Structure formats: C-alpha cells, structure tokens
Amino acid sequence: MNRESLFAGILIGLGAYGFLSLGGIPGAVIFAFGLMSVIYFAVPLYTGKAGVINDIWALTKIWFFNVVGCVLLGLLAWYLGGEAQARAETVVAGRLAVGPVRAFLRAVGCGMIIDCCVFLSKEKGSMLPVLFGVPLFIVCGFYHSIADVVYIVAAMDWSPALLWYYPVIVLGNYAGCNVRRVVLPKKS
C-alpha cells in the first residue's frame, strides 16, 4: 500500500502542478487529471479514503505517503520556477491569511466534494463527478490537504503559521469526507 499511496500523491501532485502552471478555470479542470488517475489506478488517496476507512493508522500511512509524493512534485515546481512557482507563493500566502476557522471550513468543503466525487465515480462508473467536482472545490476556494503540500513546497514558504494551518486542513478534509457517511450511513 505504501508504493500505491506514494503514486497517488504523485498523481495529485501532477494535477496540482498543472493547476499552478495554467491557473484559473482551465487549470482547475486540468487538476481533475490527478483524481481521475487515482480512481482509474485504484490507488489510495487520503481524501478518497478518509470517509471509508475506520483504521486511523492505515489512513495515516496513506496520508504520509501521499504527502511524500506531493513533496516531490512541489520540489519540481520550485526547482523549475516560473509561473507555477510564482502562483504557489500567492496561493500559500492567501491560505495562511484566512485563519484557522475559515481554513477548517474550506477544508471541510473540499473533503465533502472529493468524497462525493470518488463515491459517485465508483458507484455510477463515470468520471463526470470528478470532472465537475475538482474544479468546483477550486473555484469555491476550498483546501485540499494533499495538493496543498505541492503549493507549500513550491512556494518554499516555511511560515510558523503552517504549524496551525496544515493540521487544520488535514482534520477539515477528514471531517468533510465523513459527512456523507454520517448523514447517509446506508450509502457508504
């Protein structure tokens, strides 16, 4: 599972890097490549599993290796510089400026959308939920704890605010990914 989780992180990292490179709605649509690939390859992604796995240790391992995969893409974006790296700096500064409560709520929104995307794509055998859901969470300004690793590393912004920010969005994504399971327990 560790290699698969690492690969899932790389795939989400590619989507995040694509978003940083292109920006706007087109970049948000390109980002969907990451989640579509995760689903097609059936590799574990933290925000795809947080609403279905009860084993916190297994979920933590998935998260860890997803993060490692995204660190690799973040380093690539930082090293290559250009528009992607500049956009990452803007994204990170904006995220750190919102404060913990707003960051948590934005992460909950993302978790809900990603959980629905993964559930519906598997349930209905269609990638349309992903193709619309990923741009939706980006347009709404919601935060994805795995993709944000790419932005943070590409920006090389090691602000002390990351000490509250990153754990808050990991927990917010977890909470959002579990809304469906709590509200519609028979549909999980």
Q: Looking at this protein, which amino acid is placed at residue 119?
A: F
What CATH number belongs to 2-187? 1.20.1080.10
- For position 188, what pLDDT does the model report? 58
- For position 157, what pLDDT does the model report? 86
- For position 47, what pLDDT does the model report? 96
**pTM for this model (two decimals):** 0.94
Residue 6 has a CB neighbour count (10 Å cut-off) of: 21
Give the C-alpha distances (Å, rounded to integers) separating 107 from 46, 60, 77, 86, 141. 13, 17, 23, 23, 9
| Residue ranges per structural domain of the chain | 2-187
Q: Are the CB atoms for 71 and 140 separated by under 8 Å?
A: no
- For position 186, what pLDDT does the model report? 76
pLDDT along the chain (188 residues), means of 10: 95 97 95 97 96 94 98 96 94 95 98 96 95 97 98 94 95 97 80
